Amino acid sequence: MVSVDPQIWIAAFFTIAATSYAFRDNVVFKFAENTFIGVAAGHTIVMGVKNIRDYGWTHIMQGEMIYSVAFLLGILLYARFHRDYYWLYRYPIAFLVGNGIGISIRAAIHSDFIVQVAATASPLIKSDALGTVNALITFVGVVTSISHFIFTQEKIHEGAIGIVPKIGRWMMLLAFGASFGNTVMSRFGMYQGRIIFLLREWLQII
């Protein structure tokens, strides 16, 4: 028994329309594509306004007038569309960039550098043989893959020492292969959701 719910029918139509591009470009896909961009932009606006209301306007309503500065900066973002006053948008962008960089680099040093180096510098000899082999491979992988990205010393890529960055490249290729294998699963894992929807919700045959 096929579903009689119009919502399911619309969703099924758009699922098939969006899939159709995989086989050939066509006008139905173009319709779906434009619909997608339109609804995505609409949703973004709705969430933006809600965000301003919940995290900005409520504060002003509670008497925290200092939040009006955030409103002013937010409005200045739209100056970028003005021919003469476009430069005003640099103020809020500068604020966002400073905030974004400040928030991320202070922790990136710790997460991506200090902790990773400390993890690599742990003892290589483990309680079992496999553990030791794994620790050695990991250590070699870290050191050699970093050496592959040293471009300021060209000699590291030449002669006998050149084998070090070369091993790094091989290690990375092996890792990228694993990444590719997982990406295949990831994409199928995403699309099967639409297949289950079509068969279960729309056609109701499973």
Residues in 39-68 that interact with other proteins by CB under 8 A: 39-52, 54-56, 58-59, 62, 66-67
- Shortest Å, Cβ 131 to other proteins: 10
Q: What is the DSSP string of 82-129?
A: STTTGGGGHHHHHHHHHHHHHHHHHHHIIIIIIHHHHHHTS-S--SSH
- Shortest Å, Cβ 126 to other proteins: 12
Site for other proteins in 134-163 (CB under 8 A): 134-135, 137-146, 148-149
Tell me which residue of 206, 191, 199, 205 sits closest to 18, measured CA to CA. 191
- Shortest Å, Cβ 160 to other proteins: 19
- Shortest Å, Cβ 152 to other proteins: 12
Find the largest Cα–Cα distance for the chain: 72
7: left (phi over 0), alpha (psi -120 to 50) or beta: alpha
| Residue 18 vs residues 31, 43, 69, 130, 198: alpha-carbon distances, Å | 9, 19, 43, 48, 13
| Residue 114 vs residues 108, 110, 121: alpha-carbon distances, Å | 9, 5, 11
> Which residue from 121, 158, 162, 181 is in contact with other proteins, where contact means CB under 8 A?
181
Q: Counting contacts by CB under 8 A, is residue 125 touching other proteins?
A: no
Q: Where do we find the tokens 């050149």? A: 162
Site for other proteins in 87-116 (CB under 8 A): 87, 89-113, 115-116
> Which residue from 1, 125, 129, 178 is in contact with other proteins, where contact means CB under 8 A?
178
> Which residue from 2, 26, 86, 163 is in contact with other proteins, where contact means CB under 8 A?
86
- How is residue 75 written in tokens? 């409005």
- Shortest Å, Cβ 132 to other proteins: 11
Q: Counting contacts by CB under 8 A, is residue 121 touching other proteins?
A: no
> Which residue from 26, 163, 189, 204 is in contact with other proteins, where contact means CB under 8 A?
189
